[in-house]
Amino acid sequence: MPVGPDPFASRRAATRRVCGRCRKPKTFLYGTDTECRDCRMRTKPEAFRSGEETRCPSCGHVEKVDSDRATLYAEGEHDTYCEACDYDYTVSTQVAFTYTSPEML
Indicate left, alpha or beta for 55 from its phi (over 0: left) and psi (-120 to 50: alpha). beta
Domain assignment of residue 105, yes or no = no
Which string of DSSP letters, residue by residue, matches 44-87? --SPP--SSEEE-TTT--EEE--GGGGGGGSSEEEEEE-TTT--
The count of structural domains within the chain is 2
Q: Which residue type sits at 42?
A: R
Same domain, 57 and 25: no
Domain assignment of residue 104, yes or no = no
Return the pLDDT at 4.
63
Same domain, 34 and 54: no
Q: 55 is in which domain, residue-wise?
A: 44-99
pLDDT single digits (tens) 63-73:
888 877 778 88
**How much is the pTM?**
0.54
Same domain, 29 and 51: no
